[in-house]
């Protein structure tokens, strides 16, 4: 069971009363959610429940209507990041993948990961033109670090392959690698197993656990594959119609009547 990992410390992400309206539609309604250090948390719920919208609010893509988002990277001060610019949030240590894969299709796998290193490197226009020693070293480091990350997700074979030519499962792993390259303390995965076959899902299961182990980071994951969710997560949040309807350990969630009802509909509730 996943609970074997070192006892969880303080929370790294706190979402307080987060609300998001689209015109008349309330996609998220006063949701509270938190993720602790080294924790793997799953966010589940039926289609349209508002899960991706939460990710978009956290990562700055959407400006929430109300509520707050705080982060506290390990060893750093607590900080409010609500409404901050997207790239600044990534720089502060939260990186994500997308439900509909958004890799840079005409760049190679390695180049995709190298983009992830952008916010941790410095070379500007002058450095690019002059290409002095420091810049050459930085470039070299970007390459070797990116290669190592590709190795972690098992994509060394495809290193020079254009991303659009990779199989689906590999593209999803590439997105994870790219996000990891930004050195996050919290990795946000939006349906990482979508479209994967059972074998690939199994591999993903191991990958997620290994990332937590080796990188010592927290993971917040949206997923519909219950087997994966139950096997990797420490805690689970359940959403329906923009509201949080349950939270707890995998075993608690499995028994929860409200959750079963939300997933299977009213008539099943006999």
Partner 1 sequence: MDYFLEIFWGGLTRGSIYALIALGYTMVYGILELINFAHGEIYMIGAFTALIVSTALAMAGMKGLTVFILASVLAVIYASAYGFTVEKIAYKPLRQAPRLSPLISAIGMSIFLQNYVLLAQTSDFLPFPGLIPEFTFMQPYAHIIGSTEMVIISTTALIMLLLTVFIKFTRMGKAMRATAQDRNMAMLVGIDINKVISSTFILGSALAAVGGVLIASHIGRINFYIGFIAGIKAFTAAVLGGIGSIPGAVLGGLVLGWTESFATGYVSSDYEDVFAFAFLVLILIFRPSGLVGRKTIQKV
Partner 2 sequence: MRKIKELRQSLLISVWFMFLTFPIMVIRVNTIDNIIEWRWMNMIYVGLGSFVFSFIWRYLLSKKQSGAKLLKADKPAYLLPMQRIFANPWMQMSALFFIAVFAVIFPFVFSSYQINIMTTALMYVVLGLGLNIVVGQAGLLNLGYAAFYAVGAYSYALLNYHFGIGFWTALPIGAALAALFGIILGLPVLRLRGDYLAIVTLGFGEIVRLVLENWNEFSFGPSGISNIPRPGFFGIELNFEQVSAYLYFLVIGICLLAIFVIRRLQNSRIGRAWIAMREDEVACQSMGIDMTRAKLTALALSSMWAGLVGVIFAAKTTFINPASFTFLESAMILSIIVIGGMGTILGVIVGAFLLILLPEYLRALSDYRMLAFGAAIVLMMIFRPQGIVTVSRRTYQFSDENHAPDISTK
Ligand X SMILES: Nc1ncnc2c1ncn2[C@@H]1O[C@H](COP(=O)(O)OP(=O)(O)OP(=O)(O)O)[C@@H](O)[C@H]1O
Binding site for partner 1 (CB under 8 A): 22-23, 52, 56, 61-62, 98
**31 neighbors 243 (Cβ within 8 angstroms):** yes
Binding site for ligand X (CB under 6 A): 22, 25, 27, 45, 47-53, 99
The CA-based diameter of the chain, rounded to the nearest angstrom, is 73
> Of residues 4, 24, 125, 133, which one binds partner 2 by CB under 8 A?
125
Q: Residue 47 touches which of partner 2, ligand X, Mg ion, none (CB < 5 to 8 A by kind)? A: ligand X
Tell me which DSSP letter residue 122 carries: -
Give 85-103 as a DSSP string.
Answer: -HHHHHHHTEEE--SS---
Q: Residue 61 touches which of ligand X, partner 1, Mg ion, none (CB < 5 to 8 A by kind)? A: partner 1
Sign of the dihedral through C-alpha 150, 152, 156, 162:
negative
Phi (first) and psi of residue 265, to 5 degrees: 90, 165
Instruction: Provide the minimum distance between the beta carbon of 100 and partner 1 in the complex, in angstroms, as a whole number.
Output: 8
Give whichever of 162 and 194 is closer to ligand X, judged by the CB atom: 194
Give whichever of 105 and 132 is closer to partner 1, judged by the CB atom: 105
The total of other beta-carbon atoms located within 10 Å of residue 97's CB is: 25
The two structure tokens encoding residue 216: 């010592």
Give whichever of 129 and 270 is closer to partner 2, judged by the CB atom: 129
Place of tokens 């439900």: 99
Q: Calculate the dihedral angle through the C-alpha atoms of 198, 200, 204, 207, rounding to the nearest 10 degrees.
A: 130
Strands 79-80 and 235-240: what pairing? unpaired
Residue 182 lies near partner 2 (rule: CB under 8 A): yes
Residue 144 lies near partner 2 (rule: CB under 8 A): yes
Place of tokens 């796998």: 109
Instruction: Provide the minimum distance between the beta carbon of 195 and partner 2 in the complex, in angstroms, as a whole number.
Output: 18
Q: Residue 96 touches which of ligand X, partner 2, Mg ion, none (CB < 5 to 8 A by kind)? A: partner 2
- The footprint of partner 2 (CB under 8 A) covers 59, 61, 85-87, 90-91, 95-96, 98, 102-108, 110-111, 114-116, 118-121, 123-125, 127-129, 131, 135, 138-140, 142-144, 147, 159-160, 162, 165, 178-179, 182
């Amino acid at each position: 069971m996943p609970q074997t990992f070192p006892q969880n410390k303080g929370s790294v992400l706190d979402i307080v009363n987060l609300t998001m309206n689209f015109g008349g539609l309330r996609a998220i309604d006063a949701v509270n959610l938190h993720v602790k250090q080294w924790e793997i948390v799953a966010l589940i719920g039926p289609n349209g429940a508002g899960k991706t919208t939460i990710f978009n609010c956290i990562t700055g893509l959407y400006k929430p209507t109300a509520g707050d988002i705080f982060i506290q990277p390990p060893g750093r001060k607590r900080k409010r990041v609500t409404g901050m610019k997207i790239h600044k949030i990534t720089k502060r240590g939260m990186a994500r993948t997308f439900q509909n894969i958004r890799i840079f299709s005409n760049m190679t796998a390695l180049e995709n990961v190298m983009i992830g290193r952008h916010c941790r490197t410095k070379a500007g226009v002058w450095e690019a033109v002059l290409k002095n020693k420091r810049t050459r070293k930085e470039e070299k480091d970007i390459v070797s670090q990116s290669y190592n990350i590709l190795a972690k997700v098992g994509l060394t074979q495809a290193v020079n392959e254009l991303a659009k030519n990779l199989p689906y499962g590999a593209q999803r792993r590439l997105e994870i690698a790219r996000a990891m390259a930004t050195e996050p303390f919290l990795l946000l995965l939006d349906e990482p197993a979508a479209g994967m076959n059972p074998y690939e899902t199994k591999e993903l299961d191991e990958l997620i656990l290994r990332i937590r182990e080796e990188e010592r980071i927290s993971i917040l994951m949206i997923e519909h594959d219950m087997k994966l969710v139950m096997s990797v997560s420490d805690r689970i949040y359940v959403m329906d119609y923009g509201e949080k309807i349950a939270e707890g350990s995998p075993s608690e969630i499995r028994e929860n009547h409200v959750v079963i009802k939300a997933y299977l509909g009213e008539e099943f509730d006999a």
